[in-house]
Amino acid sequence: MAKLTSQQLAAAVKELWWFGLKQAYACVFGGFLLLVMIVTHYWYPIESLHRYDFIFLAAIAFQIFLLAFKLETAREALVIVVFHLLATVMELFKTSDAIGSWQYPEAYVFGIGNVPLFTGFMYSAVGSYIARVWRIFDFQYTRYPKRNLTVILVAGIYLNFFTHHFIWDMRWLLLGATCGLFLHTRIYFKVIHEHRHMPLLLGWFLVALFIWFAENIATFTNIWLYPNQSDSWRMVPLAKLSSWYLLMLLSFVLVSLVARKNTAADGVPALERGV
């Protein structure tokens, strides 16, 4: 194997550094929410305002800050609104007394039924990340499936989040359909000058894994609890990765529709188009 020259090594380190910085910028909304959750878990001195309500107001204030200083585009803000609405509907169903998939154990004023309103922002953080990372890494694709097929797939995924409580859980069928549809799709991303690429299915898995880690932090800080965590905290089962993977696909397609993101490979160098 050929050894890297000092110049090549320096270029690789520089690209890795910029990759990390861009990812951190793309995660800024989700990172802010996670930071607020951690800090208020260990130190929250405001007795006149419930912790959940503080998180909700902090999320709104941070959104205004991002828009005011042009750190977020209007389309990215629209993505957050759409995700918030869809997530709240799902949360109302999942936390109902009849279903009880998880619960929010603390008090709040800003909420609907069993759902504090800040919860929609947790899903919005995923959509916000995808919209922002798409822009700053100049995402392009090869062999991306027809958009109408992706819409049908994600509609099935969203419905399955509800229907699997009453009929057969189709998540593995949906995962299989996802693999079949996107098996040959590659995502191209530009860190500095040159487009790199990887299988899109792998990219989704890496992000889903990161969300699973964040979910463990959120449950540890008492943001929400699963039934098996009601007595004492324990790690979220790895099986939850399947749900987050499907949520990643749902979020990805929604961003492509709401923010009108391009899925063509127009920006990919000619030699790479046939990959």
pLDDT digits (tens, 9 = 90+) for 106-163: 999 999 999 999 999 999 999 889 999 999 999 999 999 999 999 999 999 999 999 9
Number of domains in the chain: 1
The residue range of the domain holding 95 is: 25-272
Q: Is 5 contained in some domain? A: no
The mean per-residue pLDDT over the stretch 83-91 comes to 92
Predicted confidence at residue 253, as pLDDT, reads 92
Strands 140-142 and 115-116: unpaired
pTM, two decimals, is: 0.90
Question: Among 262, 249, 263, 258, which Cα is nearest to 76's?
Answer: 258
Span 167-201, pLDDT tens digits:
999 999 999 999 999 999 999 999 998 899 999 99
Residue of 62, 116, 51 whose CA lies nearest to 88:
116
